[in-house]
Structure 1
Amino acid sequence: MSAARIIIAICMADLRQRLRTPRMWVLLGALAAASWWSFPPADADYLAVWFGAGARAYYSSAWIGLVISSIYGGLLSLVGFYVVRGTVVRDLEAGTWQILVATPMNRAGYLLAKWLSHVVLFVLVLAAGIAVGLVAQQVRGEVTTLDLIELLKPVLLIALPALAISATFAVWFDLVPWLRRSAGNILYFFVWTFLMTGSIVRGAGAWPGDPQGMMAVQQALAKGADLPAGFAKGGLSIGGQSLQGKAPVLFEWTHWQVGLDVLASRGFWLAVAVLGLLAAAPLLDRFAAHRGGARAASTEGRRLRLLDVLLAPLRWTAFGALVSAEVSLALRPRRWRWFLAMAAIFAAQAFAPEKGLVAAILAGWLLSMDHFARAVLREHDTRTGALVFTAPGMRQRLLAARVLTGIGMAWLVTLPALVRLGVQNPTAAVAVAVAGVSIAVWGLALGALFRNARPFELVLVAAAYVSLQGALVLDALADPMSTLTGHAIALPIAVAMLLTAWRPLVARVA
């Protein structure tokens, strides 16, 4: 009972701290509002969750629960990771862990409390989505009978195991020192993508299915959906599909007959989440010894004596000295592995074929993304704003220096590509340069707006991923003018956002 009280106390303390911030309520409200668009009326020209070639069920309790579980189990397991992670890092870096370890609490109990606080927050988000779904069920009026069991069945079997795994990853990525910041944010996106697609590639019948439970739902719909004769059932899809003026195919699905195989597969993934969490308990003290932050910063960059020579002309003016200091802070803390990886990226940018060139450009930006959003938060994280902003005009000069440094970093890590494209395809070279400016400014803007680097890092990783799949977001070679135009249009928005968010950020830390 004592251990249970400690676990509950830590969990509730974390939850209260999160719910005190207005940003969390804004997030809950935004996700709940977005849920409404997941239930379009029958005459709408789109579907959010559909089966086969444009079919959905009447809005019964079972289908409402399925839609919420499918969307939140998949997308919230990605976005939620970036929202909940950081509580363990905060305890380790603030020295709270040393106090907690002196209490009767054991290591497994501490990790379980942190994990539970993540899961409870996910449940709150799910509850908001379910509430919106219930309103939609009554407003749409297709099946107004409320069946709580069928409503909650998909939530418990589909969404909960998926979100439990995401919570376990959030704890592990907070513990492992090199995964606590940008590297972990990048890696988790690809881990999530693998988990989403790995089981699908292996086949729908492969046990235990995918962690998100999409294969289980797809098989249930294939067996139980009462579709018109000749309709191609296909698979379950989540996102947005335009019907191009056609009416959706509606079918009746008010009950999910859950088999033992589904219970076993979903129980397997829930057990994986819990056992994976407890596996970290024996390593907790070792991980806690690496407290991170400024104390763990690498000093290998101090060997960059050439950097002092290159930056020396900048120090002739006060603003130049400030830019020089920002460049030093961006490069000197980096470890030798970063420079080695950047050398390989430079070689690929210089000699790789077009597809490899695009990948190398994206890799250069991704490898440096910790600078773009975190630079604007330096005084916020180190609590040095009261000292830094006492200098006359420092607010304007420091922002200008960081904008220039961010743009310089975006261009520096793509320098071989810019030189090569400047000779072979000047329009593409300009598009890459403008995209670099856009990345730098958007990184500063989102970092200042959210006072956290994770939203920008998630956006950049997602943009890089879709660009590798052929999107023009950051692919400046497929259609340089379209990429150039898109970033040129978005750039003034980023500048306005940065100027708007910078003032309250400075007022907070000064």
Structure 2
Amino acid sequence: MSSALRAWLHTALSDLRTRLRDRRLLMMVAACVYLGHLVLAGRIELTLVDRSYRGAANAAWMGTVLSLTAAFLLTLFGFYLVRGALSRERQGRTAPLVAASPVRSVTYLLGKWTSGTLFLLVLAGSMAVSLAVLFVLRGEGLPAPAPLLTPFLLFVVPTAAVVTAVALAFECLPGLGGTVGGILYFFGAVAATVAPVLGAAPVDLLGMGVIHDSMSQAVLAQYPEADPGAMFNFGYYRAPAEQLKTFQWDGVAVTADLLARRAGLVLAGGALAAGAALPFDRFDPSPSWRAPLRSALPGPNTSTPKTEATSTEPPATAGPPTAGHPSGPEGHPDAPAPAESAPWSLLGSLSAPVALRPFGLFAVECRRALRRRSGTWQVGALVLVGAGLWVPGSTGLLVVAWLWPLPLWSDLGARETTTRTAPLVASSPYARAQRVAAWAVGAAVPLALLAGPLLLGGHWRALVGVLFVPALGLAAGRLSGTPRLFEIVYLVLWYVGLASRQAALDFGGVAHAPPGTLVGYGLAAAVLLVGAVTGPHTA
């Protein structure tokens, strides 16, 4: 076995073991098992001709519906499940070891891509196993493996490979490894699932066009009067369709052209993961080109770099003291400087009586939250405030304004974990007050962005979202330790409730939500906030 192949294999296995040891895996597997139950129970339904025809409940039909469900969910949410393979190296402080190893960047990234793909296939495979078990429990016997696994291999495996490659490429590209990349991917994933329905998809990632053509031929062969021209209906339905006509369908015909196209997607995913080695910085800790340029310019923040001849011992009050060892890298030469030291020093420089003052703590949290946002984000926020005052009745502007603070909200509860300061905050005398202040900042930002629609446009229902969304961000971050859980949940709520204007899920005053929805969001905000402030740090 060559050294490159051995390095690829060990990188993939090591990363896969890390993913499988995550305690949240059991919850994800349980959700996949439940989805398998919904497919067998007919709640996740696939019909043709405006919910008039469906296939006979054999292994081929159930396996295809299950595979289409898995591919759809992996397209929308798989990105957020596998993203973070590189940031985990930085947080675990193993990035210097990777950077100094002889493993090439292409081999390393292909190992990460293989691991993420296998992880998504484990989740999707648990759905297939649960479906087979439920077949047996219903007394129908063990289904034939070929009709059940063929659609899984044809449609789920390529989807998992492409999604993982995109997630890895986004982490390597500058500016796309955070919340901005998550937002862009969400819109791209929605377009990838909607375009085949509209008949305008250059690449059919989920294989819906192939499945529809095969099913349409079977329907026309048995019901010549049918007109299955439109794409099939696929989704979750509380009540099954009535008076359905069933047709016999034995699965998609596997041809050489179909195999080539689906295998091409897998190869494209691998090529994208290998190509990500070009922008991959290989965990280089050196500053970007902007930092030397900024330090060379004259200004009040220009400082002289320390050298062995000119450096002096820092004063005792330079930063917050920690028990057991001196603070900073000077006290321990081998220890790396903690990330985000400047924002956290703002809290550490306050004495306990001052920090407990609500307005002082709120001001510090507000300053820290805004310092973590880019200049582009701040300029965009000012534009939204002005536009809201100019056209306060625009619902389209309201939808955009509810998306703009997403990077700030996703950082609320996960910041303690990503900066490795959770023990320090938990042992401080103002831990709970700091979380309340963080929530208050998360509520103040949308309150400022929506000042025009709230005061002049009559969108007062948006106040419930001002209370609910930062509470959700704080609770989700403290529960998961990453911003990904909040991003997934919020983007779905935003897309369905605001962008699609579904009043039952509207929290932003866009679709005139009924009183029951407002009360529900208000109660959820209170429960989430109390749990996030008083609950233990579980990440």
Note closer, same or farther for the CA distance 1:403–1:444 as it changes in structure 2 (3 Å cut): same
Partner of 2:359: 320
- Displacement after TM superposition at 1:100 (Å): 1.9
Amino acid at match of 1:432: A
**Could you give the per-residue CA deviations for residues 450-501 of structure 1, whole angstroms, max 9, x where no partner exists?**
222212112222222222222223375555352x541321332343244335
- Displacement after TM superposition at 1:50 (Å): 2.6
Note closer, same or farther for the CA distance 1:9–1:502 as it changes in structure 2 (3 Å cut): farther
- Kindly indicate whether residue 142 of structure 2 is the aligned counterpart of residue 111 of structure 1: no
| Structure 2: distance between partners of 1:374 and 1:280 | 26
SS, match of residue 160 in structure 1:
helix
SS, match of residue 184 in structure 1:
helix
Note closer, same or farther for the CA distance 1:103–1:479 as it changes in structure 2 (3 Å cut): closer
Amino acid at match of 1:154: P
Partner of 1:269: 265
Partner of 1:456: 486
- Displacement after TM superposition at 1:380 (Å): 2.3
Query: Superposed, which structure 2 residues align to 1:153-232 within 5 Å?
Result: 153-203=150-200, 209-225=203-219, 227-232=222-227
Note closer, same or farther for the CA distance 1:291–1:34 as it changes in structure 2 (3 Å cut): farther
- Displacement after TM superposition at 1:28 (Å): 1.1
Query: Superposed, which structure 2 residues align to 1:427-442 within 5 Å?
Result: 428=459, 430-442=460-472
Partner of 2:506: 474
* Superposed structure 1 runs of 4+ greater than 4 Å apart: 92-95, 139-142, 242-245, 286-300, 314-317, 475-479, 501-504
Contact 1:70 1:238 in 2 (8 A): no
Contact 2:179 2:407 in 1 (8 A): yes
| Structure 2: distance between partners of 1:463 and 1:316 | 35
Q: 1:405 aligns with which of 441, 447, 453?
A: 441
- Kindly indicate whether residue 415 of structure 2 is the aligned counterpart of residue 378 of structure 1: yes
SS, match of residue 168 in structure 1:
helix
Partner of 2:235: 239
Note closer, same or farther for the CA distance 1:464–1:89 as it changes in structure 2 (3 Å cut): same
SS, match of residue 367 in structure 1:
coil
- Kindly indicate whether residue 401 of structure 2 is the aligned counterpart of residue 364 of structure 1: yes
Partner of 1:306: none
**Could you give the per-residue CA deviations for residues 342-383 of structure 1, whole angstroms, max 9, x where no partner exists?**
2332233233484xx223223223221222232223222222
- Displacement after TM superposition at 1:245 (Å): 6.5
Amino acid at match of 1:218: H
Partner of 1:487: 518
SS, match of residue 127 in structure 2:
helix
User: Larger helix proportion, structure 1 or 2?
Assistant: 1
Contact 2:398 2:508 in 1 (8 A): no
Partner of 2:245: 249
- Kindly indicate whether residue 147 of structure 2 is the aligned counterpart of residue 150 of structure 1: yes
Partner of 1:53: 50
Partner of 2:387: 348
Amino acid at match of 1:470: R
**Could you give the per-residue CA deviations for residues 201-224 of structure 1, whole angstroms, max 9, x where no partner exists?**
344xx7x64111111111111123
160-169 or 410-419, larger mean C-alpha shift: 410-419
Contact 2:79 2:166 in 1 (8 A): yes
- Kindly indicate whether residue 311 of structure 2 is the aligned counterpart of residue 279 of structure 1: no
SS, match of residue 280 in structure 2:
helix
Partner of 2:38: 37
Note closer, same or farther for the CA distance 1:242–1:485 as it changes in structure 2 (3 Å cut): closer
Contact 1:448 1:498 in 2 (8 A): no
Note closer, same or farther for the CA distance 1:290–1:87 as it changes in structure 2 (3 Å cut): farther
Partner of 2:349: none
| Structure 2: distance between partners of 1:353 and 1:418 | 8
- Displacement after TM superposition at 1:152 (Å): 1.5
SS, match of residue 501 in structure 2:
coil
Amino acid at match of 2:372: P
| Structure 2: distance between partners of 1:405 and 1:12 | 42
| Structure 2: distance between partners of 1:14 and 1:471 | 40
SS, match of residue 366 in structure 1:
coil
Contact 2:29 2:123 in 1 (8 A): yes
Higher Cα Rg: structure 1 or 2? 2
Q: CA RMSD in A?
A: 3.1
| Structure 2: distance between partners of 1:130 and 1:253 | 19
23-32 or 144-153, larger mean C-alpha shift: 144-153
Contact 2:105 2:282 in 1 (8 A): no
- Kindly indicate whether residue 481 of structure 2 is the aligned counterpart of residue 444 of structure 1: no
Contact 1:299 1:335 in 2 (8 A): no
Amino acid at match of 1:404: A
Contact 1:85 1:170 in 2 (8 A): yes
SS, match of residue 22 in structure 1:
coil
Note closer, same or farther for the CA distance 1:139–1:256 as it changes in structure 2 (3 Å cut): farther
What are structure 1's unaligned runs of at least 5 residues?
301-313
| Structure 2: distance between partners of 1:283 and 1:395 | 39
SS, match of residue 75 in structure 1:
helix
Partner of 1:339: 378
| Structure 2: distance between partners of 1:174 and 1:114 | 12
What are structure 2's unaligned runs of at least 5 residues?
289-335, 344-352
**Could you give the per-residue CA deviations for residues 100-155 of structure 1, whole angstroms, max 9, x where no partner exists?**
2333311111011000111111111121111122133345567x573222222111
Contact 2:99 2:284 in 1 (8 A): no
Partner of 2:27: 26
| Structure 1: distance between partners of 2:337 and 2:225 | 64
444-453 or 64-73, larger mean C-alpha shift: 444-453
- Kindly indicate whether residue 427 of structure 2 is the aligned counterpart of residue 390 of structure 1: yes
How many residue pairs were aligned? Answer: 477
| Structure 2: distance between partners of 1:28 and 1:183 | 28
Contact 2:46 2:233 in 1 (8 A): yes
Contact 2:162 2:266 in 1 (8 A): yes
Note closer, same or farther for the CA distance 1:290–1:261 as it changes in structure 2 (3 Å cut): farther
Note closer, same or farther for the CA distance 1:97–1:388 as it changes in structure 2 (3 Å cut): closer
| Structure 1: distance between partners of 2:287 and 2:15 | 20
